[in-house]
Structures are given as structure tokens and as C-alpha cells.
């Protein structure tokens, strides 16, 4: 039998490192190991009751058929209202796209716009999928290192230096996965000044964590700061993180009508439309009671503060409190060069993460997977009890290093 040959686009991308780490943790648990899993990038809460009830009601009404490629009118209306409140931009119906998660929309946006030789600026650390999505769609990721000294944020000087005639997109992720860092209004304004000088550069702003927010100042979007960029910006969001709806697979975006039309064309040839039931639930999420979201964010804040305190008490590890999302991205530079009781020298952040998994039973993801070392990512979307046990184990393992 002749084997089926896979395409070059598949061969040049990786399996998602964060998904691989989570799968490794699940495998170890299934084998009977006592693993505390801090890899998972999803809320540990149930979807709020009023959202679940809306989905059941939609099923009972028989709303179980195909919808328009870009979603139901009710959902598009809810998205437009939400974005108006969040960004100040009054998007039209033809400027909204809805997909099977924000991840699908991001992929389709690159698929709709990239050709061989096109560059996409990706600040590092980055969500693991951005570079591989670019590669899968024939583009070239241009990685720009944004260290902790810069708050893990892109500076206008680095942005200017990265732009070339081949640049098609700048990717912004605010608040960020993996760091929780977010751009202030002033920081977005100076980036916008650079972008206004380069009208061929589009902006893809991934704001999926925008309501998991801890800072005193209000979160903002680059299109809210500089509306003149709206006609070349795709604002991507969804219901997964804010409303604890990761499994419902419902994301959305707003942007210039020609781009949205191209994304919808691609979706029409791939998944046809998002789940009708998930769309009904998303309407309830966007238009309904925001009390459950405030409650979840208050719990995340307590967990963040606990995790930061416990981690910074461990010699060799250090982290600043993130502004949003539910991740820490601590430096482990203070552990590099040290030796384990078994005689292994920890030379990289991946060595550190593997040692924590093998010796402490705590699963995290190494910073190299996100484009910046020596760091590692952990999620505090888990109980305080699990966080306390995890950091107690990490402290014990670190104390045994020489």
C-alpha cells in the first residue's frame, strides 16, 4: 500500500506545545502518578447557569439547524453592541464574523491574507499557535523579543525596526497568554503612531482575555485608542475564557468588510457555520447578567495574589503580578546552572520544567515554547488548594538543588 504523503504546511508546523504538555500531564495521571496540572489554559468553573439554560431553550425550540456562515442575526447584534461598549467603534453587520472559536478565526484570517513571502510580526513571548498558523499559511513569522524589562510588551522602537515592505500583519495579544501583560492606553497610542506611518500593515488584536482583568485602569483596544486604524484592524474575541465556555467553541471578530467577507468565504468551505446551540448560548453570555463574570474574576484575583506570593518566596524564581488573564510567566534564571540530587545540571527552562514534573509532580510549560527563555508558564485557573500544594512541592524540589 502506498503511504499518503502529508503536505509541506503540516511538516513545517509543530504540535501545540501547551496542548502537548497538558496531554503529557493527563497521561501521567492515567498511569497513576500524582500530578498537579498547571498547564491548562481554561477556566475551572462551570459555564454560568443562565447561559446553559439558554442553550437548552434553543434546543427545545428546534434551533438545531445550519445558520448563516457568519452567525445568527441575534448573535451578530449582540457582538456589535459588545464591541461598541468595549471599543467605541460602531461596526456594521457585514464587518462581523463568527467562528468555531477565536482560534479558527485567527487561522482563517491568516489563510485569507497571506501569500508566500509575507511577514507577520509576532511579539515574543507569544501564544504558541501564532507562529505556526503563519507558517501553515505560507507566511513568515518575524519574532520580536519583548523581555520582562519591557513588561513583556512591544515597544514602538522595536515595532518600527521590525516593519518591512513585506509586513502584512502585526499581532497584538492583550492581555497576553502567557504573561498576562496588557498595553495601557498610552502604550497603544505610541504603537499606533508607528502604524499610522506604515499603512500597508494590518493589525490583528487578540483580546480573548479582555474581561479577566485586574488592573485599576480600564482595559482598552488599539481601535479605541486610534480609530483611524479600524479599517485595517481585525479585533478577535470570543466567549471561551470570560464565560467559562471553552468547549462551546464560539469566537468572533470585527474588521474591514472585505477581510470579513474573505474569512466567511473560507469558513463556508470548511465548517459551514458555528454551532447553532453555541450561538444561542453566546447571545445569553454577551447580553445577560455579568455578575457571574465579576465573581469569577474576583476569585482569579485572589488566586493570582496567592500564586505570586508563594512563587516569589521560592529562591531562584521571580514574577510580577499580571494585569489580566490567568497565567504567571515567572523567570527561572536563578535555577539555571544548579544541579539536581541526581546529578543533572539544569541548563534551560525546559530542563527546569521537566525536573518539576518528574520530581515535584507539578506540570507547567517551558518558556521556550512561547518564544522567551528562561521562563515557564503556569495557570492559576485552579483551586487555591492545588496552588498551595503545587508551590509547596516546587519549593521542596528547589531547596534540594545545589
Residue ranges of domains in the chain: 8-46+292-399, 49-287
Q: What tens digit of pLDDT does each residue of 364-394 get?
A: 999 999 999 999 999 999 999 999 999 999 9
Q: What is the DSSP code (8-state) at residue 45? A: S
Q: Phi, psi (5° rounding) for residue 250?
A: -145, 115
Asked if the model's pLDDT at residue 1 lies above 70, the reply is no
Cell numbers found for residue 335: 535555577
DSSP-assigned letters across all residues of 189-231: HHHHHHHHT-TT-EEEEE-TTTTSB-SSSPP--HHHH-GGGGG
Confidence of residue 25 (pLDDT cuts 50, 70, 90): confident
Closest C-alpha to 341, from 355, 351, 354:
355
Q: Phi, psi (5° rounding) for residue 325?
A: 65, -165
Asked if the model's pLDDT at residue 110 lies above 80, the reply is yes
Mean per-residue pLDDT, 93-107: 97
Element containing residue 283 per DSSP (H, E) = helix 276-287
Distances in Å between the Cα of 20 and the Cα atoms of 88, 175, 223, 345 are 39, 23, 34, 24
**Of residues 302 and 30, more confidently modeled:** 302
Asked if the model's pLDDT at residue 28 lies above 80, the reply is no
Mean per-residue pLDDT, 181-187: 97
User: Three-state SS for 310?
Assistant: helix
Q: Phi, psi (5° rounding) for residue 63?
A: -85, 65
Asked if the model's pLDDT at residue 64 lies above 70, the reply is yes
Mean per-residue pLDDT, 137-163: 98
* DSSP E strands, 21-74: 36-37
Query: How many whole angstroms separate alpha carbon 354 and alpha carbon 356?
Result: 5
Confidence of residue 3 (pLDDT cuts 50, 70, 90): confident
Asked if the model's pLDDT at residue 112 lies above 70, the reply is yes
Mean per-residue pLDDT, 318-322: 98
Q: What tens digit of pLDDT does each residue of 128-143 get?
A: 999 999 999 999 999 9
Asked if the model's pLDDT at residue 69 lies above 70, the reply is yes
Q: What tens digit of pLDDT does each residue of 327-345 get?
A: 999 999 999 999 999 999 9
- Burial of 42: CB neighbours in 10 Å, binned 0-12, 13-18, 19+: middle
Mean per-residue pLDDT, 62-82: 97
Closest C-alpha to 140, from 111, 112, 166:
166
- Assign domain 49-287 one CATH number from 3.40.640.10, 1.20.140.10, 3.40.47.10, 3.30.70.270: 3.40.640.10
How does the average pLDDT of the chain come out, rounded?
95
Mean per-residue pLDDT, 231-257: 98
Closest C-alpha to 394, from 343, 334, 352:
352
Percent of the chain with pLDDT over 90: 90
CATH annotation of 8-46+292-399? 3.90.1150.10
Distances in Å between the Cα of 135 and the Cα atoms of 52, 164, 371 are 37, 18, 15
- Burial of 90: CB neighbours in 10 Å, binned 0-12, 13-18, 19+: exposed
Amino acid at each position: 500500500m502506498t503511504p499518503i504523503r502529508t503536505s509541506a504546511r503540516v511538516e513545517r508546523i509543530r504540535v501545540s506545545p501547551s496542548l502537548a504538555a497538558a496531554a503529557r500531564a493527563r497521561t501521567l495521571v492515567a498511569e497513576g502518578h500524582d500530578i498537579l496540572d498547571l498547564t491548562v489554559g481554561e477556566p475551572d468553573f462551570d459555564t454560568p447557569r443562565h447561559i446553559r439554560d439558554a442553550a437548552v431553550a434553543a434546543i427545545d425550540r428546534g434551533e438545531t439547524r445550519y445558520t448563516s456562515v457568519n452567525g445568527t442575526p441575534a448573535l451578530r447584534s449582540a457582538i456589535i453592541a459588545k464591541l461598541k461598549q468595549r471599543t467605541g467603534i460602531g461596526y456594521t453587520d457585514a464587518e462581523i464574523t463568527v467562528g468555531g472559536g477565536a482560534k479558527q478565526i485567527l487561522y482563517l484570517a491568516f489563510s485569507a491574507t497571506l501569500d508566500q513571502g509575507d511577514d507577520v510580526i509576532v511579539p515574543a513571548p507569544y501564544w504558541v499557535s501564532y507562529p505556526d498558523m503563519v507558517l501553515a499559511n505560507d507566511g513568515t513569522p518575524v519574532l520580536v523579543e519583548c523581555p520582562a524589562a519591557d513588561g513583556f510588551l512591544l515597544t514602538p522602537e522595536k515595532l518600527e525596526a521590525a516593519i518591512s515592505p513585506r509586513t502584512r500583519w502585526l499581532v497584538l495579544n492583550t492581555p497576553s497568554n502567557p504573561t498576562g501583560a496588557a498595553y495601557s492606553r498610552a502604550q497603544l497610542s505610541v504603537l499606533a503612531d508607528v502604524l499610522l506611518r506604515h499603512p500597508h500593515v494590518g493589525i490583528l488584536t487578540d483580546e480573548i482575555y479582555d474581561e479577566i482583568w485586574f488592573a485599576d485602569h480600564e482595559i482598552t483596544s488599539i481601535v479605541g485608542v486610534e480609530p483611524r486604524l479600524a479599517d485595517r484592524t481585525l479585533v478577535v474575541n470570543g466567549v471561551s475564557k470570560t464565560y467559562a465556555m471553552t468547549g462551546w467553541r464560539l469566537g468572533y471578530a470585527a474588521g474591514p468588510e472585505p477581510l470579513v467577507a474573505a474569512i466567511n468565504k473560507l469558513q463556508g468551505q470548511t465548517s459551514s457555520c458555528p454551532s447553532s446551540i453555541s450561538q444561542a448560548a453566546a447571545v445569553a453570555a454577551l447580553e445577560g447578567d455579568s455578575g457571574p463574570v465579576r465573581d469569577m474574576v474576583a476569585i482569579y484575583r485572589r488566586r493570582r495574589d496567592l500564586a505570586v506570593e508563594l512563587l516569589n518566596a521560592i529562591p531562584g524564581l521571580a514574577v510580577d503580578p499580571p494585569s489580566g488573564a490567568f497565567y504567571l510567566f515567572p523567570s527561572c534564571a536563578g535555577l539555571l546552572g544548579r544541579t539536581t540530587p541526581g546529578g543533572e545540571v539544569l541548563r534551560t527552562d525546559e530542563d527546569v520544567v521537566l525536573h518539576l514534573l518528574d520530581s515535584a509532580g507539578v506540570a507547567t510549560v517551558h518558556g521556550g515554547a512561547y518564544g522567551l527563555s528562561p521562563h515557564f508558564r503556569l495557570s492559576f485557573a485552579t483551586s487555591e488548594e492545588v496552588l498551595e500544594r503545587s508551590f509547596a512541592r516546587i519549593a521542596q524540589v528547589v531547596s534540594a538543588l545545589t
